[in-house]
Each structure stands twice: as structure tokens, then as C-alpha cells.
Amino acid sequence: MIPAPFDYERAESVDDALELLGSGRDAKLLAGGHSLLPLMRLRLARPELLVDIGRLSDLAYVREDGDRIAIGALTRHHDVTNDDLLREANPLVAHTAGEIGDPQVRHRGTIGGSIAHGDPAADFPAVLVALDAELVARGPQGERTIAAGECFSGFFETTLAPDEVLTEIRVPKLDGAEWTYLKFHRRAQDWATVAVAAVRSNGSARVALTNMGPTPVRARGVEEALASGADPSRAAERAAEGTSPPSDTQASAEFRGHLARVLTRRALEQVLR
């Protein structure tokens, strides 16, 4: 289908984007366009104004920031996958970007767009939750930092305000921590039916799940079981606790629960070996 009519403005800077977002019209930021434009074509989104931030090259970077790595929100998935610093300091994030879609999607889609879109089947959100990442947003009142675990509030909903621009994602250096992201999907380029991110550092493990509810889910039951001395197999039995997976054409909720337990066991066997 053809999108409903809309106006288009190209932002020259973040300040410019903020001004356009505050113009009183129903405005939406356009980054890679790989989630927003399909919604517009289906007329599930009908913004009056598209504010194109896709050319803000000063928001496309990966750099060291103390004990963290800072990733600009406009960094494309392809560049996240291939960045030498990330591959060295946080290979989980680099690996996850390489799991997204196909080469065309990875060349256009951005990490910031993936987070702001709030798709429960997207790959980055659970990984960022497992990593205790920080997100930086700028709005009319200035800059604020949001814990990744506080960002995803519902089905395609985040705690980013409509007049805020997500500018940066900060992830820890893994410094030899064990990590994995296991994604189950029917075809190589598909979204996750279910996926699990696991990180083990300083003697404890953090586990988060993709597509087991309207938001990424931290598998607290699994983490508690491990802390109490359970082995991967026993701990993974608690993977679906507190989740509300969807039933759709990809899988039933019951099958998703099964996948969560199997993938979590495999993930724990990898990070705890």
C-alpha cells in the first residue's frame, strides 16, 4: 500500500530535529526507515511529518568511554557488526547486530531505531537488558540517561518521549566475560521466534529473553536458581517463569515456553563451561 500523505524535513543536527519534533505536528523521526516505512505503508502509522535524522553522521560512531563503549544511535547494524573496537571489547553486541535481518536491512537499519521501535521480536533489546546497558536521550529539557531495563514499557512502546531523540547507547566492556546470544528463527533472515542472551561475569550470570512477552524479559528465576547452585539444566527449567509469550503464525505460546527453556539451557552450558 501507499502511505498516507506526510510532510518531510531533513534535520541538520539533533537540535534541529528537536525543534521539528516540538513543532506541534504529529512528527516521527526517520532513521533507517526499515521499521517505520513498512508501518506507514500498511497505514498502521500515519505521521503528519517525517523528521529525517538518517544523515546525522555525528550520531554514527563507536568509541571508548571509560569502562564502557559508546555507540551513536545512528550507527547502522552493519557497522556495529564490523567495528573492531566492539568486536574486541563487547563482541556480544557486534555478534547480535550480525544476526539481524539480511545484508540490506543491516546496511540501512540503525541501533537507535531498533531500540526506539520497541519491537518485542527485535534482537538488540534483550541483549542490552542482559548487559545492563545505558541509553542516552535528548529532549527539550536536556539530556537524560535511561537504564535499558527501564526503556521497554510495552508492545512497541518505550519510555522515550515523542519529543526525545535517542542519541547514544553505552555498553560495558566484557573484559573476558562469557557471553552468547542464541536466536531461534525459521529462516536465516527472520525475526526471532524466541532468543536468549546470557552474560557471565564476576561469578554471576545475567539472562534475558527476546519475544517471550511484549518487552524483553530478564529471566530472574534462572538467575536466582544459578545463584543458589543449580546446574544449567535445572536453572533453565525456570526460563519461562513470569513471561507472557504470544501465539502467532510462527509459534504457539506453549512452544515458545519450550524454546525458552531449551535455548536457555544451551546458553548457560556455553557461558558456564
Write out the binding residues for ligand FAD, residues 192-211 only, by CB under 6 A.
Answer: none
* String marking each residue 104-123 x if it binds ligand FAD according to CB under 6 A: -x---xx-xxx-xx----xx
**3-class DSSP state of 25:** coil
Report the residue from 40, 160, 174, 197 that binds ligand FAD according to the rule CB under 6 A.
160
Report the residue from 29, 69, 226, 251 that binds ligand FAD according to the rule CB under 6 A.
29
* String marking each residue 69-108 x if it binds ligand FAD according to CB under 6 A: ----x--------------------------xx---x---
Beginning with the edge strand found earlier in the chain, give each strand of the sheet holding 134-139 in spatial order.
62-65, 68-72, 165-172, 134-139, 142-147
CA dist 172 to 58, 210, 255, Å? 22, 20, 33
Query: CB of residue 177 vs ligand FAD: minimum separation in angstroms?
Result: 23
Q: Is 31 in the site for ligand FAD (CB under 6 A)?
A: yes
Q: Is 139 in the site for ligand FAD (CB under 6 A)?
A: no
Which residue from 218, 70, 212 is spatially nearest to 149, judged by alpha carbons?
Answer: 218
Q: Residue 211 has which C-alpha cell?
A: 519475544
- Euclidean distance between CA atoms 185 and 29, whole angstroms: 29
Q: Are strands 49-52 and 27-30 parallel, antiparallel or unpaired?
A: parallel
| Binding residues for ligand FAD (CB under 6 A) | 28-36, 38, 73, 100-101, 105, 109-110, 112-114, 116-117, 122-123, 160, 165-166, 191
